Chain A
Amino acid sequence: GAVVSQHPSRVICKSGTSVKIECRSLDFQATTMFWYRQFPKQSLMLMATSNEGSKATYEQGVEKDKFLINHASLTLSTLTVTSAHPEDSSFYICSAPSDRSQETQYFGPGTRLLVL
C-alpha cells in the first residue's frame, strides 16, 4: 500500500488565491521530505527540502515566499502556493526517505494544481 500520501490529489483554484498541499508519511517518521514540481511532459524539478522543526532549503530559482513549506511534525509537510497564478499550474510531488532502505525514497501520488 501507499506509504506517502498527498492531499488533495487535484485542486482547481482562482488566480490570486492560496492553495495548501499536504504530504504525509504513513506509519513512519520523516524528518526530511522533498517537494518536486513536474511540468507537462517534463521532468521532475526539485523545489525544496523540507526539514522538520527548521526552515526548508530551497533550490536555486525557487521563490521561498511564493512556495511556503512547513514541516510541523514528523509525518506531515505542507506546501502552500501563495497568490497562485496560471503559470503555477503543475503537478506537485513529494517524497520522503525510506525508513527501511538507505537507498530509496517513497514518492507520493502527486497533486495536480490548475489555476484559472
Chain B
Amino acid sequence: GEDVEQSLFLSVREGDSSVINCTYTDSSSTYLYWYKQEPGAGLQLLTYIFSNMDMKQDQRLTVLLNKKDKHLSLRIADTQTGDSAIYFCAESSGYSSASKIIFGSGTRLSIRP
C-alpha cells in the first residue's frame, strides 16, 4: 500500500532555514501536501504541490518535488518560534478533493534561540 515517511525530529536555530524531508512510495500520487499541527490542535494546510510541478514557493515556504525519487521537501526560511509544531507530509492519488489522503509520521520541529 501507500507509504509516506519522514524523520521524526528537527531542531534549528531561530532565524535559520528549516528543511523537512519526506519520501513516498505511491508513483500515482497527484497531490502532495504539507500540514502543520500545533500542540492540541487540528491540522492546518500549509501548502500543496501538484505532481507535475518541481517547485512551489509561497512567502517563507518553498516546496521541492523530485518525482523520480519520490522525494518531497519543505523549506521554511527565517524560522521563527511560532513555527514550532509537527509538520506532516501527505499524499493523494486522486484528482479531486474527495480522494483519501495518506499522512506521514510527522516531523516535530523545535526552535532553539
Contact = CB atoms under 8 A, between A and B. Distances in A.
Interface of A: 31-32, 34, 36, 41-46, 49, 60, 93, 95, 97-98, 101-105, 107-110
B103 A97 contact: no
A95 B35 CA distance: 13
Contacts of A43: 88, 103-106
Residue of A42, A102, A103, A107 with most chain B CB atoms under a 10 A cut-off: A103
B101 A34 contact: yes
Interface in B57-91: 88
A43 to B, nearest CB: 4
Contact of B100 (A34, A104, A109): A34
Residue of A41, A97, A101, A105 with most chain B CB atoms under a 10 A cut-off: A105
A44 B42 contact: no
Contact of A104 (B45, B88, B95): B45
A105 B42 contact: no
Interface of B: 1, 31, 33, 35, 41-43, 45, 48, 50, 88, 95-98, 100-106, 108
Contacts of B102: 46
Contacts of B42: 93, 107-110
A84 B50 CA distance: 40
Contact of A93 (B43, B45, B96, B98): B43
Nearest to B95: A102
Nearest to A98: B97
A95 B90 CA distance: 14
A31 B101 CA distance: 16
Residue of B95, B98, B102, B103 with most chain A CB atoms under a 10 A cut-off: B98
